[in-house]
Chain A
Amino acid sequence: MTKTFIRCALVLAAFALPGTGLAQSVKIGFVTTLTTGAAVIGNDMRDAVNLAVEDLNGKMGDLDIDVIFADDGFKPETGKQVTDKLVKSDDVDFVAGYIWSHVLLASQKSVLSAEKFLISANAGPSQLAGKLCHRDFFSTSWQNDQTPMAMGAVLSQKGIGKLYVMAPNYAAGKNMIAGVERTFKGEIVGKDLTKWGKDAQLDFSAELAKAKASGAEAIFVFYPGKAGGAFMKQYEQAGLANKLPLYTVFTVDAISLPKLQQANMKAVLGSLTTGFWGPGLKTPQNQQFVSGFREKYGRYPSFYAAQSYDSIFLINSAVEAVGGNLRDRDGMRAAMEKAAFPSVRGSFSYGANHFPIQNFYLLEVVADGDGNWTTEIRSTVLENHQDTYVADCQL
């Protein structure tokens, strides 16, 4: 009798466990691009997340860290599918990642309506900063317009009167152009939006010929991932290096530079870009991150990696603040709003729409002491800069 009772009790207890006990691990779904040519970005982000987990010794407070990586295949519909799976069947506590604005826009509702936290480690579409802003959404990167706004300011400072602009035809490409138009005081003499996605246009001969004939004094482009490398080569082959100085955002980075160096595309050295971060930024967290990353993977991290590293530390600050009680969502949200984690960019604060208010720097492409091509910070262009869409955010 007693035996039977104990058996029954044990069985019942076993069933009851997941309901009564506290969670043993914090589950993070990380959505990025792990196939197609853009996989090189996704791999960089994955490496940074794994490094962050290692640097936290695999623990957030007393909880184990369980990261599930998912591939969006560079397509909004696939991104939404894998996000749905992470939310519904894996029941993660946080969904992070997202390189592409159109993928993030397609996926955000699945996460936010299921009452999970969504952390963008790259994409910063204007909609999520404005009308679609949400109390459970946070960014560890920037709003898309901000980096090109910094570039627009640089171009105006340099006294450039006529500018040609090129970007891929999707949400972020349009934001980038809107950003540079907002701060550039001269005239935009030509604009091209090129096909993007899995079968993106990579031959820019027609556009470069137009740019050359337009009478522009400089060209501004945004071509992330492999398109950036392709653009740089054609820019050099078209003989524009001495005629039409190149200003880029998110195009010349730690992803494209090693390949450009291997191909000895010297035109890229000295070209200017803007960003919130550079590998040489002297904050304690950044020095730990960059040296750790270089030691583990033998290359410079990209800004994508830096933002992904930050996303894990942001989540860590939330989990630690509530002592591992993942049900205390208000407590976790309040902790994240303080941005009280060690960020690679140094201390910053969050705006009402949960996008960082932060500095933007002018970066130049240089060869480092060992001859590796990288970017170095030259000056601060925008200080404690906040995006403009926050005015549309009703939080």
Chain B
Amino acid sequence: MDGALILIQILNGLQLGVLLFLLAAGLTLVFGIMDFINLAHGAFYMLGAFICATLAIWFDSFLIAVLLAVPITFVIGVVVELGVARQLYQADHLEQILATFGLILIADTLVQMIWGPQGMTFALPEVLNGQVQLLYGVEFPVYRVLIISVGLLVALALYLVVSHTRTGMLIRAGASNRRMVEALGVDIRMLFTLVFAAGAAMAGLAGLMIAPITEASIGMGNEILIVAFVVIVIGGIGSVQGAFFGAMLVGLIDTLGRAFLDDLLGLVLSHQAAETSAPAISAMLIYILMVVILYFRPQGLFGVRAS
């Protein structure tokens, strides 16, 4: 266990963290502002991946695919908001969960009908496929550096929009008191559509960035959505900062747990016991973290509403 390896694992943790942030940001805004639980948020993640994979193979260019796939998922987000989500804002949470669970089944089946069950993969351009020397002895895949950079840029942009623009002010106002914003004559419906679709586009961006690493597959969004919910609960529902720090925390803990837990346990347990218990414990770590944080701060780290 040397410094270079620890640094690489921290970078790996950051990479997972920014992906989780892209997913969690939309989720937390939609939940915080519209009080809408969207289980189908992971479907945008999956659609982003499949659409990007298809376009990348068509145009033989990853860049064009990304530039087209993000607006396409934005448009899909608009359609879903107008067609489905809008009808459900007044409904209670159980109905929202049922309806969006239905959306998951529809999205998964649609993807299976269009792209087949086997999933899709595509090649990265040569420049992104290699390694980059960050420091002496610290080599890291170029593509993962790109993911971290894009994620951080989006986070910065989102921060600027939310805290320094008029739209952002309305978003924050909506998160703390929706009724009052409406009473002041703001067209909240337009704002809702915008936020919902932007969340979809960010989820799509996360999905298309992970697709060249794993692949686009059916249900990929549902698997990661559970972790995204953990992130927003830790960070505090409705808070973009909370989503960011929650995502980084979860990404780092999960990755570092997988990387070093067996060595750490080996210090106190027998080699055999450490080896068998480490995978199980590292899979539980983020949930343990969530329990601990909820115990001390029930509203999450940056919660805007004490519920």
Which chain A residues have a beta carbon within 8 Å of chain B's beta carbons? 34-37, 39-40, 43, 169, 191-195, 198-199, 201-203, 205-207, 209-210, 213, 226, 229-230, 233-234, 236-239, 259-260, 262-265
Contacts and interface: CB of A to CB of B under 8 A. Distances in A.
Given A203-B210, A205-B141, A206-B9, 20 more contacts: A36-B219, A40-B117, A194-B258, A195-B279, A203-B213, A205-B15, A205-B255, A206-B13, A207-B258, A209-B8, A210-B5, A210-B259, A213-B8, A233-B212, A233-B214, A238-B131, A262-B57, A262-B122, A263-B121, A265-B123
22 contacts: A35-B117, A36-B218, A37-B219, A43-B118, A195-B283, A198-B219, A199-B223, A201-B258, A202-B213, A203-B210, A205-B16, A206-B9, A206-B12, A206-B258, A209-B5, A210-B5, A229-B121, A233-B215, A237-B124, A239-B130, A263-B123, A264-B123
B258 A199 contact: no
Nearest to B256: A206
Contacts of A202: 213-215
A302 B218 CA distance: 22
Contacts of A40: 117-119
Interface string B55-85: 0010000000000000000000000000000
A203 B17 CA distance: 13
A226 B129 contact: no
Contacts of A39: 117-118
Contacts of B45: none
Interface of B: 2, 4-5, 8-9, 12-13, 15-16, 57, 117-124, 129-131, 139, 141, 143-144, 210, 212-215, 217-220, 223, 226, 255-256, 258-259, 275, 279-280, 283
A237 B118 contact: no
Contacts of A229: 119, 121, 215
A238 B8 CA distance: 11
A242 to B, nearest CB: 11
A260 B120 CA distance: 10
B123 A237 contact: no
Contacts of A193: 275, 279
B279 A209 contact: no
A274 B275 CA distance: 26
Query: What DSSP secondary structure best describes chain B's contact surface?
Result: helix
A259 B210 contact: no
A202 B283 CA distance: 13
B214 to A, nearest CB: 4
Contacts, number: 112
A342 to B, nearest CB: 30
Nearest to B282: A195
A234 B122 contact: no
A6 to B, nearest CB: 54
A316 B51 CA distance: 45
Contacts of A236: 129
Contacts of A205: 12, 15-16, 141, 144, 255
Contacts of B223: 198-199
A237 B259 contact: no
Given A206-B9, A213-B4, A226-B217, A262 B121 contact: yes
Contacts of A207: 258-259
Contact of B141 (A43, A198, A213, A238): A238
Nearest to A199: B223
Contacts of A169: 279-280
B139 A213 contact: no
Given A206-B9, A259-B118, A194 B279 contact: yes
Contacts of B219: 36-37, 198
Contact of A43 (B12, B117, B120, B122): B117
Contacts of A201: 258
Contacts of A210: 5, 9, 259
A206 B215 contact: no
A120 to B, nearest CB: 23
- The listed residue with most A CB atoms (<10 A of its CB), out of B13, B130, B210, B258, is B258
A358 to B, nearest CB: 29
B99 to A, nearest CB: 22
B214 A230 contact: yes
B218 A37 contact: yes
Q: Which of B122, B214, B219 has the most CB of A within 10 A?
A: B214
Nearest to A191: B275
A355 B298 CA distance: 56
A259 B115 CA distance: 13
B117 A199 contact: no
B219 to A, nearest CB: 6
B279 A237 contact: no
Interface-centre pick from B4, B119, B124, B144 (highest chain A CB count, 10 A):
B119
Contact of B5 (A37, A213, A233, A239): A213
A226 B255 contact: no
Nearest to A227: B214
B5 A203 contact: no
Contacts of A213: 2, 4-5, 8
Contacts of B118: 37, 39-40, 43, 226, 259
Contacts of B141: 205, 234, 237-239
A230 B217 CA distance: 11
Contacts of A199: 223, 226
Given A237-B143, A239-B141, A259-B118, A209 B213 contact: no
A37 B213 contact: no
Contacts of B256: 206
A213 B9 CA distance: 11
A229 B118 CA distance: 11
A124 to B, nearest CB: 22
A180 to B, nearest CB: 15
A302 B26 CA distance: 41
Contacts of A260: 121
Nearest to A169: B279
A146 to B, nearest CB: 23
Nearest to B141: A237
A264 B139 CA distance: 23
A226 B119 contact: yes
